[in-house]
């Protein structure tokens, strides 16, 4: 049993209490959005994915509250929502420059890093985002993605090395 499973938030979550979902958003919303941003090509899509994720969690709230790790469950739901969005639109790489729809939104904190991330394979990018932005352990990442923990760890290492080359070496 994880720390999440003993969380007093789980009971109101299982009842579908919107306040409990708001509290869950306050805990994990930023991480979910960051992961969505890493997986999708625009902020708007990332926000849609987060909204879809919370609706999905609300619909399956009983299973969500019973999950061994509700946090990992939420990130898995986010990943599915992001894949659905990507399949609805054509798969696009992360834009090098902000699109028109993003112009009035806060800029990416590190544009060079964002561009380098955009050139990573999606599988590596999502492991990196789940680890660094979602704060998931490798076993939670493995559970979210349905892959072995060792695979999650090696994808993470390859992603870092790839970024290191992209950012450190001459262009």
Partner 1 sequence: MSPEPLDELELRLARSVPAPTAALRVSVVARLERRRLEERLLARVLEGLVAASLLLGACLFRAGGDARAAFPAHAPLDQARLPEAPEAPEFIGLDGPEQLRLARLAPLFAVGRLAPLAPPLASTELDDAPTTSQELR
Rounded Cα distance, 147 and 71, in Å: 17
**Choice from 2, 12, 95, 108 touching partner 1 (CB under 8 A):** 108
**Choice from 65, 78, 128, 152 touching partner 1 (CB under 8 A):** 128
C-alpha closest to that of 89 among 35, 30, 33, 39: 39
Spell out, one character per residue from 29 to 68, where the chain touches partner 1: x when CB under 8 A holds, - when not.
xxx-xx--x-----x--xx--xx--xx--xx---------
Which sign does the torsion angle of CA 117, 121, 124, 126 carry? positive
**Choice from 9, 114, 147, 153 touching partner 1 (CB under 8 A):** 114
Q: CB under 8 A: which stretch of 73-81, 83-91, 147-155, 158-166 binds partner 1? A: 158-166
Cα–Cα distance list, 27 to 22, 31, 108 (Å): 9, 8, 21
Spell out, one character per residue from 64 to 103, where the chain touches partner 1: x when CB under 8 A holds, - when not.
----------------------------------------
Q: Are 72 and 136 in contact (CB under 8 A)?
A: yes
Q: CB under 8 A: which stretch of 25-33, 75-83, 93-101, 139-147 binds partner 1? A: 25-33
Please tell me whether residue 22 binds partner 1 under the rule CB under 8 A.
yes
What's the farthest any 2 CA atoms get from each other in the chain? Answer: 55
Rounded Cα distance, 154 and 160, in Å: 10
Please tell me whether residue 130 binds partner 1 under the rule CB under 8 A.
no
């Amino acid at each position: 049993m994880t720390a999440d499973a003993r969380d007093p938030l789980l009971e109101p979550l299982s009842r579908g209490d919107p306040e409990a979902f708001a509290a869950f958003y306050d805990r994990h919303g930023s991480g979910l959005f960051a992961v969505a941003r890493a997986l999708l090509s625009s902020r708007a899509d990332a926000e849609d994915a987060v909204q879809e994720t919370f609706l999905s969690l609300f619909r399956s709230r009983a299973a969500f509250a019973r999950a061994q790790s509700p946090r990992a469950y939420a990130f898995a739901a986010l990943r599915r929502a992001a894949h659905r969005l990507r399949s609805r639109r054509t798969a696009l790489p992360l834009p090098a420059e902000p699109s028109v729809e993003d112009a009035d939104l806060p800029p990416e904190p590190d544009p060079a890093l964002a561009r380098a991330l955009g050139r990573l394979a999606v599988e590596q990018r999502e492991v990196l985002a789940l680890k660094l932005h979602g704060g998931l352990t490798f076993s939670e990442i493995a559970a979210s993605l349905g892959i072995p923990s060792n695979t999650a760890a090696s994808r993470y290492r390859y992603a870092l090395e790839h970024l290191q080359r992209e950012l450190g070496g001459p262009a």
